[in-house]
Every structure is written in structure tokens, then in C-alpha cells.
């Protein structure tokens, strides 16, 4: 039997939210399976929790369950089916770092409800009735996003299988705006996850360009321009070209220009420029990685995946803020044409760079694309530029996998991104741009090398990038883009859509200030 060709880049990311139903009563039709009951309390109402326990628990469980009303999650096998009660308790402290690393109400509900569908499969739950009690819209948005994230399955999607979870019924009709916002966010996160999960024999600069063209074709307010290899050569983007010169798939740049339509407020705003690193696979080049380090290098386009998700969100949510998204794409291969250590490449801004290590390639792509972003003219001149990249292992050694490193030459921009991340449960942490470390990249033959052998690798990488932003307000997010184990709404190891929600929150707040 011929195996069906995998079409992972030819699918639309489905939305579980769009399949949810709202009814004050459980479905009356006959069904083979179990009904589950979920109660989400927006305030800590212990009397309400006790009432729900008495209504659903068998007599022999009542005493032990009522002793646990202070817990945030209560689960038991009720007389009509499994029951889950969620109630976030107010943290009493101590609280460190100004609360920037604590869970927000949004992220708590997202993560708790996101883990629910796995339990439903274990209990063979066919229908799940969810009742939201005294919740606000922020909590409700978290519930919806978490459920939608947990419904995503890479295998099901590429194999064309239907959603295999329970039917969801909400006893409370949610506002249309909350449902729309949650659906746009969840779709964007899942798109970013899906792109990272896609195998490198299918996702490369060419297929990624084709995919984004299809995804955003005909979208109001969005224009797309693609720079192929010839255009990169014409623009003098020697760093970007150098990374991709060993691949049979040439490098490219996608520029997605979003401008709100019929918005008087946004016309007074300069655009936000977002730049993503998209190395679709990174062997390390001639300074080849060991196999253990190369295994997950399909995720080295995590920055582009994140910003592709943000671009989708722009097309769906249409915020009142102009945005330019730049996706720098290349593949770092081992080949006779690959760049070599000691090669000298000339950047678009005229700086010469001696290649010290071919595995420090992402910053080369970003450098040239950053220069494109910051040199736009007139109404397209950006107010600020933010880049997102899976740039260094050093940042993971420092902050772990959950917390991106944040570097910035502008305190206000850094503070806004830090607050945005904290509010959606994607904390980032600011690392100093200590300029004296730049001397470790001195070269006797060029303006600088592309990396150093010393300590502080994440800082020196950021300092390298800073040379290409021409003093514009700039921030750099060094991300991991991957979860190593299933947890919460991330039901399997793989792409996690890191910083999509942070940037959505940041851009939403900027739109409100317009």
C-alpha cells in the first residue's frame, strides 16, 4: 500500500472554539459514553463549592471532599459522571520580583482547563458541560484558549483525522467579543506550534513562503512582499545570503505589511516592526553540531513561527496599530558551498563580519533583516523594532526553557514587553546589554566577528544584533520555542508558540493607546 503523502504545510489550523455549543441544558440526544461536569468559579466562594459537592458527590465522599474546599482543583467521580471544580485562590505571598513571575488569572485558567481534555479521554467522556460561575471576561478568555490549545494534535491534523475529544457545552453564553478574541489567539498559537512541529524535509524557505502566501492571500489590510535570492543580492544582504549559500533551497525574506483600514487613530502611529529568525534547519554548517544538539533543530525557525502566528492574529483581530512583520528564512547546511570559518561577509549596512563559527548563523540572518526593517522611510519608518529568535543555548542555561531572555536598548519598551509577558503567563526576563563584552568579538580582519568563545554568549549575541538597529528603540527576545514534556494545554512535546501571546498583548495595549 502506498503511504499517503504528508501535507503538513497544506492544512488550515482548525478551531475547537468554533465548535463549542452554548445551552443551559445538557444535550437531550442519546449518546454512548460518559457526561462530565466542569465548574469554573471566578471568585473564591467556598459556600458555592460545598453546594456543588453536595449536589454531585455520592454520600460516602461528602465528608472528605468538603474538607478540601480550599483546594484550587477538586476532582471526583460524581453520581452523574466525573466532576471537576476549578477555583483560583488568591496568593497570600510572599511575592517576589513584583509579581512578574506569578501566574495571572488568564494563564491559570488557560493552563488548568487546557489539561482537562486529556482526563476526559481517560474517563471516556463524550459530552462535557462547562459552567462558568462569577467569571470575568479575562478568565473566560483563558478557559477558551486553553481548551483550544489542548485540542491541537499534529498527527491528527496531518492525517486528516477529526477532533477526538468530547463535545463541549457551556451553560453560560459568552460574549461574542470574548469568543472572537480567544479564537484568534488560539489559532495563532497553534499555527506557530504547527510550523515548528513540521519536519524540515517539508518546511524550508520555499515552502514556508508558499504557505504564508496562501494563508494571508486576500486578507484586508495586509500586503505581502517576497524577496528572493536575487533581491537579497541586489540589497547587499551578504550575511543572510552567506547562511543559506550551502543549501539547495535559497534564502528569502517575507515582508508582511499590516495597516488598519478605516482607523483614524492608527494613522497617527508609526508602525511596530517585528523581525523573526527562520533557519528552517540548522546543522551548524561546517562547524557541525553533534547529533544530540542537532536533533531538534527544525525548531530553529521558532522566531518566524511566532511571528507567523502574530501575522495570522493581525489578519483575524485587526487591531488599530500598524505592524510590519519580517520573516528571514534560510537553511544552514553542510556543503561544498557552505560558508567557512574565517570567511568575511559584508552586511547590508556595510559592516564586514568575519565568520568565527558557522553555527552562530541566526544572528547573521537577523542582522540583515533588522537593517531592512529600520531603514524604511516616511510613513513606514518604524517607531520600534522587536526581534524574536531561538538564538542561543546560553540563555536556556541561564533562564531555563520557560523564560525568554529580553534584551533592549530602551527601558520603556522593555518594561512594556515584560508586563505583557507577565499578564499572559509568558514571563520574560531582562538581561543587561553590557557593551564591554563587545570587545570579545574584535577582529583583525573585519569590523567584528560573528561570535566569541567566552562567557556571556546570549549577551554577546544581543550586542551583535544591536549593531544593526541604527539606534532605533529595539528589543530582542531569545526564546526556546519548544516544550520538552506535556503539561497544561501543551498535550505533547513539541512547538509551544512561545511569545505569541506576549506580542498579542503588547500590540493590543498599543492599539488601545492609539
Catalytically annotated residues: 289, 363
Distance (Å, rounded) from C-alpha 399 to C-alpha 428?
A: 9
Distance (Å, rounded) from C-alpha 164 to C-alpha 125?
A: 11
Joined grid coordinates for residue 334: 553542510
- Neighbouring-strand partners of residue 272: 323, 384
Q: Which residues contact 18 (CB under 8 A, 6 or more apart)?
A: 183
Distance (Å, rounded) from C-alpha 196 to C-alpha 193?
A: 5
Cβ atoms < 10 Å from Cβ of 73: 13
Distance (Å, rounded) from C-alpha 388 to C-alpha 301?
A: 10
Distance (Å, rounded) from C-alpha 418 to C-alpha 310?
A: 18
If residue 494 lies in a helix (H) or strand (E), which one and from where to where?
strand 494-495
Distance (Å, rounded) from C-alpha 112 to C-alpha 115?
A: 6
Distance (Å, rounded) from C-alpha 499 to C-alpha 426?
A: 7
Give start and end residues of each alpha helix (H) in 115-235: 116-122, 137-151, 154-159, 176-197, 205-216, 229-234
Q: Which residues contact 214 (CB under 8 A, 6 or more apart)?
A: none
Distance (Å, rounded) from C-alpha 367 to C-alpha 234?
A: 16
In total, the chain counts a number of residues equal to: 514
Distance (Å, rounded) from C-alpha 182 to C-alpha 147?
A: 10
Crossing angle of helices 137-151/105-114, nearest 10°?
30
Please answer whether residues 366 and 277 qualify as being in contact, where contact means their C-beta atoms are separated by less than 8 angstroms.
yes
Joined grid coordinates for residue 137: 471576561
Q: Got the DSSP string for 341-365? A: TT-EEE-TTS-EEE-S-TT--HHHH
Amino acid at each position: 500500500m502506498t503511504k499517503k503523502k504528508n501535507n503538513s504545510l497544506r492544512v488550515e489550523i482548525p478551531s475547537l472554539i468554533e465548535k463549542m455549543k452554548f445551552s443551559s441544558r445538557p444535550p437531550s440526544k442519546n449518546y454512548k459514553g460518559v457526561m462530565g461536569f466542569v465548574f469554573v468559579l471566578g471568585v473564591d466562594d467556598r459556600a458555592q463549592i460545598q453546594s456543588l459537592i453536595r449536589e454531585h458527590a455520592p454520600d460516602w465522599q461528602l465528608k472528605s471532599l468538603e474538607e478540601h474546599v480550599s483546594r484550587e482543583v477538586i476532582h471526583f467521580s460524581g453520581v452523574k459522571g466525573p466532576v471537576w471544580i476549578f477555583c483560583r485562590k488568591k496568593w497570600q505571598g510572599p511575592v517576589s520580583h513584583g509579581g512578574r513571575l506569578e501566574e495571572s488569572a488568564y494563564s491559570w485558567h488557560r493552563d488548568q482547563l487546557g489539561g482537562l481534555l486529556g482526563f476526559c479521554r481517560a474517563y471516556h467522556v463524550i459530552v462535557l458541560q462547562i459552567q462558568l460561575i462569577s467569571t470575568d471576561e479575562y478568565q473566560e478568555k483563558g478557559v477558551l484558549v486553553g481548551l483550544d490549545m489542548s485540542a491541537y494534535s499534529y498527527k491528527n491534523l496531518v492525517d486528516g483525522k477529526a477532533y477526538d475529544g468530547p463535545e463541549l457545552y457551556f451553560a453560560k453564553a459568552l460574549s461574542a467579543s470574548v469568543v472572537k478574541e480567544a479564537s484568534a489567539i488560539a489559532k495563532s498559537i497553534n499555527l506557530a506550534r504547527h510550523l515548528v512541529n513540521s519536519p524540515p524535509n517539508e518546511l524550508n524557505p520555499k515552502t514556508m513562503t508558499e504557505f504564508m502566501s496562501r494563508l494571508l492571500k486576500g486578507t484586508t489590510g495586509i500586503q505581502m512582499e517576497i524577496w528572493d535570492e536575487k533581491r537579497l543580492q541586489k540589497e547587499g544582504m551578504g550575511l543572510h545570503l552567506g547562511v543559506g549559500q550551502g543549501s539547495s533551497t535559497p534564502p528569502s525574506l517575507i515582508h508582511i505589511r499590516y495597516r488598519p483600514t478605516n482607523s483614524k487613530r492608527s494613522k497617527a502611529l508609526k508602525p511596530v516592526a517585528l523581525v523573526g529568525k527562520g533557519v528552517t534547519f540548522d546543522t551548524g554548517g561546517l562547524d557541525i553540531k553533534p547529533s544530540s544538539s542537532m536533533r531538534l533543530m527544525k525548531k530553529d525557525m521558532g522566531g518566524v513561527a511566532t511571528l507567523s502566528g502574530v501575522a495570522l492574529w493581525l489578519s483575524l483581530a485587526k487591531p488599530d496599530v500598524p505592524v510590519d512583520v519580517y520573516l528571514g528564512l534560510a537553511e544552514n547546511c553542510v556543503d561544498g558551498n557552505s560558508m567557512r570559518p574565517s570567511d568575511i561577509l559584508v552586511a547590508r549596512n556595510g559592516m564586514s563580519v568575519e565568520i568565527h563559527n558557522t553555527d552562530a548563523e541566526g544572528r547573521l540572518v537577523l542582522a540583515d533583516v533588522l537593517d531592512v526593517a529600520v531603514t524604511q522611510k516616511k510613513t513606514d519608518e518604524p517607531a520600534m523594532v522587536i526581534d524574536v529568535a531561538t538564538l542561543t543555548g546560553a540563555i536556556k542555561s541561564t533562564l531555563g526553557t520557560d523564560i525568554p531572555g529580553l534584551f533592549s536598548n530602551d527601558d520603556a519598551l522593555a518594561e512594556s514587553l515584560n508586563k505583557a509577558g507577565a499578564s499572559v503567563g509568558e514571563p520574560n526576563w531582562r538581561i543587561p546589554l553590557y557593551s564591554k563584552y563587545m570587545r570579545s568579538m574584535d577582529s583583525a580582519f573585519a569590523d567584528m566577528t560573528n561570535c566569541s568563545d567566552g562567557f556571556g554568549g546570549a549577551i554577546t549575541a544581543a550586542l551583535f544584533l544591536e549593531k544593526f538597529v541604527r539606534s532605533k528603540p529595539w528589543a530582542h527576545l531569545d526564546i526556546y520555542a519548544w516544550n520538552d514534556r506535556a503539561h497544561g494545554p501543551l498535550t505533547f512535546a513539541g512547538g509551544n508558540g512561545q511569545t505569541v501571546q506576549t506580542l498579542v498583548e503588547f500590540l493590543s495595549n498599543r492599539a488601545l493607546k492609539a
